[in-house]
Amino acid sequence: AFDTEQLLDCMAKLKDGQSVNVPIYDFKTHQRCSDSFRK
């Protein structure tokens, strides 16, 4: 499942040249990890 709201927010920030925090997804557990990385 996608977090559409977060995706749209990240896309808008990237379009404006800002950095965003992108969540790390664990495909083994099918959940987000608690950490995020900056992209």
Is pLDDT of 37 > 80?
no
What is the residue extent of each domain of the chain? 4-38
Residue 12 has what pLDDT?
Answer: 97
The single-letter code of the amino acid at 19 is S
Higher pLDDT, 29 or 15: 15
| Mean pLDDT for the stretch of residues 21-26 | 85
Separation of alpha carbons 25 and 39, rounded Å: 14
Residues 32 and 25 sit within 8 Å (Cβ to Cβ) = yes
